[in-house]
Amino acid sequence: MRRRPTLWSVMLLTVTATLILGPPPARAAPAPTPTGASQRCVQGTDPDAFTILHLDGGRGQTYPPAGLPRLADGDMIRIEPDLADEVDVSLLAPADPWDIVTPAGNPQAAGNGYPAPLMNQYSLLVWAGGSPFQVSRPSNCVMPGADTVTLGINDPETWDNTGAWDVVVKLYRAPVHDGGFERQTSGAVSWPWATEGPDSKGIDLNRGFAHTFRNNAFIRTSGRNWNALTQQIAVRRNTDYVVRGFIRTTANINTAFFGVRLPGMWPPTEVHFGPTPGGGYQLVEKPFNSLNNDVVTVFAGFWGVGADGWMQMDDIAVLSS
C-alpha cells in the first residue's frame, strides 16, 4: 500500500485463499530424451501437480498448501502469475496511476520497511528458503531451499488492499531424493535411503571419494551375502523413465546390480555389471516403464564374493520422458 495510517479495526479482516488443485496427468508428455525435474520445468512440460494460488490483495500464501506433501530435495516449481491481474494498493489514498498494480509491481524501487527493499514496489515476491526474489515474467523455475515457499506482494501493509492475483504453481518432482547423499549427516545411511543385507554400509562424508560434491554411499563385505541401498520413489503411471547412477567397485566384484523393482514383478528391471574399469566411477543406467504403478524401488547392490570387496555410489537419479 501507499503510506497511510493503519486502522486497527480493519485488522480484523479475515483473509481467505482459493486453492485449485490439479492431479498429475495420467501419462507424461513425451520428450526427445529423458530429463530431470530442472529440465522439465524449464521446458514447461507436463508437471506432476499444479495449484492455483489466489492471492487476495496480494497477501502471502504458502506452497504447498496444507494437505499436500512438502517439497523435497531436487524438486522444482514453475511460477506463472497472470500479469493481467490487478491489485489496488491504496484504497484509502487519492487516486494514483501507480495504485493499481500487476504482479510486476511498479518500476519504483521499494524503500526501507518493505519486505524486499530495492526491488519493485508492490511486485510479486517468492521466498524459497533464502532472500526473496521478484517474479518479473510469466514463468520462473525455482529450486526451493526449504520444504515450502511463500508468495506475496512487496508491500509493508496489505490490510486494505483490494483485488487479487492468481498464480499458477507447477510442481516437478525429482523421483529420487538425496541422490548425491549430500543431506546425509552421519556415517550411517538414513532417510530417504534404506538398506538390505547384514554387512557394512554407510556414507563417506567429505572423504574425497565422491563422484561430485562431498559425499557418497558405500557397501563393503567379505562375505557372500546380498547387500544394497534402496529407495522407494513416486512415479507416474505408464511413463518411460531412466534410472542412472555413478558407481565404482573393487576389481573382484562382478556381481553388482542396479535398477528398479516394480511391485509384483520379477526379476527386477536391472543392469548386471562389474568390475568397473580401472576402479573409477562408471555411469550405469537402465530404462524402465512404470506400468500401472505409483511407487517403485530403486536399488544398487552386489552379492559378496567371499573376499573383501566394496561398491561406492553417487549421483543416483531417475529421469522422466
CB atoms inside a 10 Å sphere around CB 224: 12
Q: What is the DSSP string of 89-118?
A: S-TTSPP-GGGEE-TT-EEEEP-TTSSSTT
Which amino acid would we find at residue 15? V
How many CA atoms, within 13 angstroms, populate the side-chain half-sphere of residue 310? 16
Decide: helix, strand or coil at residue 313: strand
Which amino acid would we find at residue 152? G
* Per-residue model confidence as pLDDT tens for the chain (321 residues): 544 333 323 332 333 333 444 444 444 444 446 688 888 898 888 888 899 999 999 999 999 988 888 898 889 999 999 999 999 998 766 657 778 999 999 989 999 999 999 999 999 999 988 889 998 777 788 888 889 999 999 999 999 899 999 999 999 988 999 999 999 999 999 999 999 999 999 999 999 999 999 999 999 999 999 999 999 999 989 999 999 999 999 999 999 999 999 999 999 999 999 999 998 999 999 999 999 999 999 999 999 999 999 999 999 999 986
Domain boundaries, the chain: 16-172, 194-320
CATH topology of domain 16-172: Jelly Rolls (2.60.120)
What is the rounded CA–CA span in Å between residue 311 and residue 301?
8
DSSP annotation of 28: P
Helices and strands per DSSP (H, E), number in the chain: 1, 23
Q: Are domains 16-172 and 194-320 of this chain identical in fold? A: yes
CATH tag for 194-320 (out of 3.40.605.10, 2.60.120.260, 2.40.50.140, 1.20.120.80): 2.60.120.260
